[in-house]
Amino acid sequence: MKFKEGVLAVERVRIDNGIREIEVNGNGDCIYIPMNDNSFFERVRSFLDWIKKEQAAFEGKLKSKAESDDDTENIIDMQTELSRDICEELDKLFGEGCCSKVFMGVQNPDIVLVLDFLGQLMPILRKLAQERNARFENVLDIFFDNATGDWQCVYDGFTDIAQGADDVIKALLARL
């Protein structure tokens, strides 16, 4: 890197992108959680809603098969299909290979294994979300004067931007 003549120091900016690593097995394999990705928590919520619907549909099919005395081979096929679909969704949510890392040696994890994984993961996600919210509050404190309710600007030219962002940020805070 070339510097201009007379430069005495270089300032640096480093951004914490919020990606957190979670070890998921005894081999040290990890999944990654993008805590600062605004869509992540929505995708988690959508996944949980989806899995509830799939489980209910699966139970309905099982009940229907039991009433019709259908063979167990079809039930196993249904379980395998549901397992495959769940793993595809988990891989989309937590990254390619999530299921092979979490459920090492199990090709088609049943719902009990999936719920065990989610049950262990949810407290971690809650903790990370609380840390994210605290960090968000700390960042806001840099720009917001709680005593006056005004935005503090580093540079007067940012005043219009800060005032325009006021409504957006207040709306976000109201949702927390």
- For residue 71, the number of C-alpha atoms closer than 13 Å in the C-beta half-sphere is 3
Do 157 and 95 fall within a single domain? no
pLDDT of residue 11: 83
pLDDT of residue 98: 96
Calculate mean pLDDT across residues 21-33: 95
Q: Residue 156: pLDDT above 50?
A: no
Calculate mean pLDDT across residues 100-117: 91
Rounded CA gap, 84 and 108, in Å? 6
pLDDT of residue 30: 96
Domain count, the chain: 2
Calculate mean pLDDT across residues 139-152: 69
- Domain membership of residue 66 (yes or no) is yes
pLDDT of residue 133: 83
Do 172 and 128 fall within a single domain? no
Q: How confident is the model at residue 155 (pLDDT cuts 50, 70, 90)?
A: very low
Do 100 and 172 fall within a single domain? no
Instruction: Give the residue numbers spanning the domain of 104.
Output: 19-142
- Domain membership of residue 4 (yes or no) is no
Compute the CA torsion angle 52, 130, 36, 97 (nearest 10 deg). -50
Do 121 and 158 fall within a single domain? no
Q: How confident is the model at residue 153 (pLDDT cuts 50, 70, 90)?
A: low
Mean pLDDT of the chain: 80
User: Which tops the pLDDT comparison, 14 or 138?
Assistant: 14
- Domain membership of residue 96 (yes or no) is yes
Q: Which of 64-73, 125-134, 136-145 has the lowest mean pLDDT?
A: 64-73
Do 90 and 150 fall within a single domain? no
Calculate mean pLDDT across residues 56-72: 75
Rounded CA gap, 95 and 86, in Å? 13
Do 153 and 137 fall within a single domain? no
